[in-house]
Chain A
Amino acid sequence: SQKIEQNSEALNIQEGKTATLTCNYTNYSPAYLQWYRQDPGRGPVFLLLIRENEKEKRKERLKVTFDTTLKQSLFHITASQPADSATYLCALDPQAGTALIFGKGTTLSVSS
């Protein structure tokens, strides 16, 4: 069956450390993978998109990797801050022209 999984429901780290979130998928061959941030009571907000032919993408303190052999994406937040505390969702396109499907999310808590 097809699945998209974010391995940890919750991740707690200290301020200043690097947070690493994992997204694994099975039985898909996505053209791209996306990461979103969601704060309590709000809609998800797009952060980064990485295409299948890209291994890594960066945006400020964020870095995403995409390994199509392992069927895995890693999302890193360096020098984490309490303001980074939120739920992070990964999403992919199951096939061209169809809607995104989402993982269940990982809730990150950064303590000062």
Chain B
Amino acid sequence: DAGITQSPRHKVTETGTPVTLRCHQTENHRYMYWYRQDPGHGLRLIHYSYGVKDTDKGEVSDGYSVSRSKTEDFLLTLESATSSQTSVYFCAIGGSGGANTGELFFGEGSRLTVL
């Protein structure tokens, strides 16, 4: 299994509070991603990173920010959580570039509930 861990795995918070989810990898992979998964919508890309300090927006980036200060960690921050951000968040590594096969390896997910 790819060395990828997410924390926390479960979190309940209140509307308006800041939340940070952490993704940590031990694979030294250049690319890291944050997706959210909701019933009826499937997996949707929030942000991704193609290197330290290099990030780009995905389909549903509003209300989220990310940071990648070192290769192994990719942080997802909700500056002021809203109920619409209640979801399961998945971090992934792998993907596009060069000889890479493109497959992604996913973490186990972080379930966030915003009350």
Contact = CB atoms under 8 A, between A and B. Distances in A.
A97 B97 contact: yes
Contacts of A89: 42-43
Contacts, number: 57
- Consensus secondary structure, chain A interface: loop
Q: How large is the interface on A (under 10, 10 to 19, 20 to 34, 35 or more residues)?
A: 20 to 34
Contact of A42 (B45, B50, B103, B109): B109
Interface string B33-71: 101000011111100101000000011000000000000
A45 B106 CA distance: 7
B42 A93 contact: no
Contacts of A44: 43, 90, 104, 106
Contacts of B84: none
Interface in A62-112: 89, 91, 93, 96-105
A73 to B, nearest CB: 14
A37 to B, nearest CB: 11
Q: How large is the interface on B (under 10, 10 to 19, 20 to 34, 35 or more residues)?
A: 20 to 34
A52 to B, nearest CB: 12
Contacts of A97: 50, 96-97
A102 B42 contact: yes
Contacts of A42: 108-109
B42 A105 contact: yes
A28 interface: no
A40 to B, nearest CB: 11
Give the one of A41, A96, A100, A101 with max B CB within 10 A. A100
18 contacts: A34-B103, A34-B104, A36-B104, A42-B109, A43-B92, A43-B106, A43-B109, A44-B104, A44-B106, A91-B104, A93-B96, A96-B96, A99-B31, A99-B33, A99-B95, A102-B42, A102-B43, A102-B44
